[in-house]
Amino acid sequence: MRKLIIAGLAAASLLGGAGVAVGQPVVERWGHWDPTWGADPGPPPRALARHWRHRENHWYEHVHNCMGRERYNPHRDMYWEHRRWVPCRD
């Protein structure tokens, strides 16, 4: 009898856990990109991967802030200022 109760409790906990997993929020690796801002810029460039390693979820926020600069290029993470490309630091 004890084995049946334990087996029933184990089955109930497995089924109950499956329902909880469905309601989990979606984790966006690079942060949240609002489609009204334009096309999704994608992940940071490989050259900057080390800089963004522990701050990955702020990449889209950074790109959105830098988009206010004239001629910002997310693939290089730089913008054009006067006659040269300048790294974007927000």
Q: For 41-63, what is the mean pLDDT?
A: 85
Scan for tokens 């926020």, then name that residue.
Answer: 61
Does residue 54 lie in a domain region? yes
Number of folded domains in the chain?
A: 1
Q: Which among 2-11, 17-26, 77-86 has the top mean pLDDT?
A: 77-86
Give the tokens for residue 19: 């329902």
Does residue 15 lie in a domain region? no
Distances (CA, A) of 10 to 4, 21, 33: 10, 17, 41
**Domain containing residue 65:** 28-87
Mean of the per-residue pLDDT values for the chain?
80
Q: Would you say residue 56 has pLDDT above 80? A: yes
What pLDDT, on a 0 to 100 scale, did the predictor assign at position 74? 87
Does residue 32 lie in a domain region? yes
